[in-house]
Amino acid sequence: MTASKSSRARKARAQASAARTGTAARTGPAARTGAQVKTGTAVKTPAGSTNGSATVKAAGSPRTAGASRNGTGGGNVQTRGGSRAAVPRQELAGPGSAAGPAVPLWMQLATFLLALAGLGVSIYLTIAHFTESALVGCSEKSGLVNCTKVTTSPQSYVFGIPVAVLGLAFFVFAVAIMSPWAWRSTRREVHLARLASVVVGVGFVLYLLYAELFIIGSICLYCTSVHVITFALFVLTVFSAAAWGLGSTRPQAQTA
């Protein structure tokens, strides 16, 4: 009787010890799993574990953003995990410089002074045309140089408008478009208008030269000076367009 009680007591203690050992075995991997979760590493659970093959999500694992955000100051890309990747900053710049085509100052002043000279001669020719006065220093005799014959000929009108008035209008526009402020403009339309105006002007000069030499048979020294000024403006403007461009309103990307 006593022996059987002792054997039953030993069996009960053995079962209790086995139960405690099984509980520790089941809870041990879970503890290790929790430790691994904190570091953000993948967790492998044993095949025979009572925890099952559940997927463990690391709460502190960094996630990179699908789309990058450009930094406002330094042009960096910052991910959600805190890492930064340097990228080149994009800056907008027009051709030449920020103040338009890089035409040198001597070119700006030369064209501006030529336009002012042409304007002065055109004003004098317009006054002489409407007052019918003789031009100072110009021969009135028959021959190659005869200003009166040229300024009073039918060819001194184009579409019913005096050629002197057309020349005055051209040089008023030329003074504005050839000014240093217009040369520094960033608008492409300004530089295109300058080029177009001298092309039209030199074409008109060629017509007047043909009329003087082959129709009238005489030339006017004042008219010739206007022709020379117009041709000089044409050469300088075309040269500047070929050398420094016409400017642009479309920005170009440059890498800093």
Q: Which of 58-72, 120-134, 140-154, 155-169 has the lowest average pLDDT?
A: 58-72
Tell me what pLDDT residue 132 has: 85
Interval 10-22 mean pLDDT? 64
d(CA 148, CA 159): 20
Among 210, 228, 226, 213, CA closest to 126 = 226
Tell me what pLDDT residue 5 has: 55
Interval 12-19 mean pLDDT? 66
* Sheet containing 69-70, strands listed edge to edge, beginning at the edge strand earlier in sequence: 69-70, 76-78, 84-86
Highest mean pLDDT among 19-28, 79-88, 167-176, 216-225: 167-176
- At 256, is the pLDDT very low, low, confident or very high (cuts 50, 70, 90)? very low
pTM: 0.59
Among 209, 208, 198, 200, CA closest to 233 = 198
- What ranges do the domains of the chain cover? 1-34, 105-255
Tell me what pLDDT residue 199 has: 97
Interval 46-58 mean pLDDT? 41
Average pLDDT, the chain: 73
Tell me what pLDDT residue 214 has: 94
- At 112, is the pLDDT very low, low, confident or very high (cuts 50, 70, 90)? very high
- At 134, is the pLDDT very low, low, confident or very high (cuts 50, 70, 90)? confident
Cα dihedral value 62, 64, 68, 69, nearest 10: -10
The more confident residue out of 66 and 224 is 224
Whether residue 71 contacts residue 154, with contact meaning beta carbons closer than 8 Å, is answered with no
| Burial (Cβ within 10 Å: 0-12, 13-18, ≥19) of residue 177 | buried
Interval 193-198 mean pLDDT? 96
Structural class in CATH, domain 105-255: mainly alpha
Interval 204-227 mean pLDDT? 94
Half-sphere exposure for 224 (CA within 13 Å, toward CB): 12
